[in-house]
């Protein structure tokens, strides 16, 4: 079955530590996205990538970094500069095309907490 | 820039009652509109989408939504609520000159027996 796999499901970060969240998709989608979800705030866009080796900052990119070396993979690193990283992180992908009317497909998320 | 507003962060209905979740959008160009559902500790699942073909859109699990341009609305309805409908629902908008999607803050639906 095609889909998006996020790992791990739960992750704990120590002070001053960088952690990386994995996102892999086998849908052959060009575009991939990272969202942060906090209670009552919906989804906020962290980074997105429309094509391999290219990515753009979203609304809340500070304290995060990404890479897109392969079409299937879009890992997110939460750096020590992100002072409030506790949240639910969702990865998504969609068929590329400016003006695409196609929906985004989501993984099952990673819940990150501070130790 | 496009945006959506979901009226009511919490909605409670009795089992068998009508479900109505409200979504209003703001966009200077024709929008594409989506409703997603999220169960606890899971990702978002697409319920339905409006892409300008028909104003009344039918989705999965008996849900439907009507696009009303004059009211800039895309409310989600279901004639008869089931206990399994309890979840959080998100409205989202995308336009043909932008590749990202904007989500509303979500509405948590509770279904009482």
Q: What is the DSSP string of B1-54?
A: --EEEEE-SEEEEETTS-EEEEEEEE-SS-EEEEEEEE-TTS-EEEEEEE-SS-
Given an 8 Å threshold on Cβ–Cβ distance, is B99 in contact with A103? Answer: no
Q: What is the pLDDT along chain B (113 residues), one digit of tens a residue?
A: 788 999 999 999 999 999 999 999 998 778 899 999 999 889 999 999 998 778 899 999 999 999 999 999 999 999 999 999 999 999 999 876 666 788 999 999 999 99
Regarding beta strands B3-7 and B31-38, do their DSSP bridges make them parallel or antiparallel, or are they unpaired?
Answer: unpaired
Taking an 8 Å cut-off on Cβ atoms, the answer to whether B99 and A105 are in contact is no
> Which H, E and C letters describe A43-111, residue by residue?
EEEEEEEEECCEEEECCCCCCEEECCCECCECCEEECCCCCCCCEEEEEEEECCCCCCCCCCEECCCEE
Instruction: Assess A50–B contact: CB distance below 8 Å, yes or no.
Output: yes
> Given an 8 Å threshold on Cβ–Cβ distance, is A40 in contact with B9?
yes
Contacts of residue A100 in chain B, CB cutoff 8 Å?
A: 94, 99
């Amino acid at each position: 079955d095609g889909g998006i796999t996020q790992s791990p499901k739960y992750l704990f970060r120590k002070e001053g530590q960088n952690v990386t969240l994995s996102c892999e998709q086998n849908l052959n989608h060009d575009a991939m996205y990272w969202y942060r979800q906090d209670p009552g705030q919906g989804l906020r866009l962290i980074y997105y990538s429309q094509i391999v080796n290219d990515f753009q900052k979203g609304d809340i990119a500070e304290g995060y970094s990404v890479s897109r070396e392969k079409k299937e993979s879009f890992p997110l690193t939460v750096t020590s500069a992100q002072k409030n990283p506790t949240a639910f992180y969702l990865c998504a992908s969609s068929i590329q095309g400016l003006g695409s009317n196609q929906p985004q497909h989501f993984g099952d998320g990673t819940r990150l907490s501070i130790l | 820039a496009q945006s959506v507003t979901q009226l009511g962060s919490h909605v409670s209905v009795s089992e068998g009652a009508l479900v109505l979740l409200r979504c209003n959008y703001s966009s200077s160009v024709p929008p594409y509109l989506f409703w997603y559902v999220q169960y606890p500790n899971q990702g978002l699942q697409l319920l339905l989408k409006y892409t300008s073909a028909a104003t009344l859109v039918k989705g999965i699990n008996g849900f439907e939504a009507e696009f009303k341009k004059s009211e800039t609305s895309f409310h989600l309805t279901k004639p008869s609520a089931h206990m399994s409908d309890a979840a959080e629902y998100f409205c989202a908008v995308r336009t043909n000159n932008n590749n990202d999607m904007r989500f509303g803050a979500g509405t948590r639906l509770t279904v009482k027996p």
